[in-house]
Amino acid sequence: MNRTALRHSTTDGLRLVDEPLPELAPGEASIDVLAVGLCGTDTHILEGNFPSADNVIMGHEVCGVVRELADDSSDLAVGDLVTVEPHKYCTACTYCRSGDEHLCINKKGYGVKLDGGMTTTMIAPARILYRLDPQIDPLIGAMAEPLACCIHSMDRLNPTSGTSILISGCGPAGAMLVALSKARGLTPIVVSEPSESRRELALKMGADLAVHPDELDSPEVATLAGEQGFHSVVDAVGRAAIARDLLNRIRKGGTFLVFGVAAPDDALSLTPREVYDKELTIVGSIINPYTHERAVAMLQSLPLEAIPTRTFPLTDYEAAFVAQREGREKIYLVPNRDNAKRLA
Ligand SMILES: [Zn+2]
Ligand SMILES: [Zn+2]
């Protein structure tokens, strides 16, 4: 059997290839991919800003149907709708041995260092697949991966219910952070976002107020959040200048969460005195350790269908990446659109 796959060469860019489907190794499963989300990491890979393997099949936000299982090492069955936890940890480094596998020094991501989901049929270990309710829209199913990242970041932030939060940036992940803040009882939830349609999305996800970044000093924000600033402030954009401004909006004793992925050389100035005087806590958050099961559990309880989506066949990958950069919708490739009843 053959599959079609979107492979990325670090020298020649993207190309679609028709290739034989590899034999399954013990413990592996093949998945007919129904939807694979594009995210900022994919754009960074194309721009050469994110280390990836040469000639890798891209795609790490995957939802599909189990086609074949090598053995009975999992409780999955052929035909199950699944999503993928797209990381492989070495199990032997100091972080893996300390329960911090996501910080593994030999970590490999599917769709980054290992072949991922931008293909008609993906192969992955069955143990990193999570069964979904068969009624779930595959576009929502593929959101489990970014949602799992957002759940981990909320764990890191660990806000108390009834406290305020400011989230800067309301792309798909920012929108998920708004929904998780709402579910956690944070109030008020204020979103800073230049795009009007994304501000509307923020309100649908549960924000109390969504403003243009230029309006963060408005009386409206101060009335809602108080003069002292926010208990929690989240940078979901990944730009140092924005992060610097956000740091000024944290109240004493508050916490700053770095969620957006900034360019490696994008720096900001922060004085130790500022951290001391305000007793600030600054936390980072990377990928999604042990949060996939919870993401799957929350998929149907959050208003994720409010996130605008747009799908492209695998052959239209160039248009898909253009649309991803435009940022108006959550973009998906649907490699099996023609033979998938679910997407009909
Ligand atoms: Zn991603
Ligand atoms: Zn390790």
Q: How does DSSP assign 72-139, residue by residue? A: SSSS--TT-EEEE--EE--S-STTGGGT-GGG-TT-EEBTTTB--SSBSEEEEEGGGEEE--TTS-HH
Check if 41 is active-site.
Answer: yes
- Per-residue pLDDT, 263: 86
- Report the alpha-carbon distance of residue 120 to residue 339 in Å, rounded: 10
Predicted local distance difference test score (pLDDT) of residue 194? 97
Q: State which residues have CB under 5 angstroms from ligand 1, the bound ion.
A: 39, 41
Cα 103 to averaged position of ligand 2 atoms, centre (Å): 7
Give the model's confidence band at 49: pLDDT under 50 very low, under 70 low, under 90 confident, else very high. confident
Q: pLDDT per residue over 5-18, tens digit each? A: 999 999 999 999 99
Give the ligand with the smallest distance to the CA of 142.
1
Q: Which residue among 4, 44, 187, 281 is the active-site one?
A: 44
pLDDT in tens, 63-82: 999 999 999 999 999 999 99
Ordered by start, the domain boundaries in the chain are 2-143+307-343, 148-284
**Is 309 annotated in the active site?**
no
| Secondary structure of residue 219 in the 3-state scheme | helix
Return the H-helix or E-strand segment holding 179: helix 172-183
Residue pLDDT, tens place only, 297-339: 999 999 999 999 999 999 999 999 999 999 999 999 999 986 5
Ligand 2 geometric centre to CA of 289 (Å):
13
151 C-alpha to center of ligand 2: Å?
22
Cα(86) to ligand 2 centroid in Å equals: 15
CA pair distance 134, 124, nearest whole angstrom: 20
Q: What is the pLDDT of residue 333?
A: 98
User: Are 210 and 199 within 8 A, CB to CB?
Assistant: yes
DSSP 208: S
**Which position among 41, 119, 121, 163 bears the catalytic label?**
41
DSSP 36-66: EE--HHHHHHHTT-S---TTEE---EEEEEE
Name the superfamily (CATH) of residues 148-284: NAD(P)-binding Rossmann-like Domain (3.40.50.720)
pLDDT mean over 25-54:
95
Query: What is the whole-number distance in angstroms between the Cα of residue 158 and the centre of ligand 1?
Result: 22
Angle at 153 between CA 161 and CA 33, to 5 degrees: 125
Tens of pLDDT, residues 275-296:
999 999 999 999 999 999 999 9
pLDDT higher than 70, residue 146: yes
Q: Topology of 2-143+307-343 in CATH?
A: Quinone Oxidoreductase; Chain A, domain 1 (3.90.180)
| Secondary-structure breakdown of the chain: helix, strand, coil percentages, each rounded to the nearest 5 | 30, 25, 40
122 close to 84: Cβ distance less than 8 angstroms: yes
Give the residues across from 18 on adjacent strands: 4
- Quote the ipTM score: 0.96
Residue 343's pLDDT is 42
- Residues 190-200 have a mean pLDDT of 98
Q: In this predicted structure, what is the pLDDT of residue 344?
A: 38
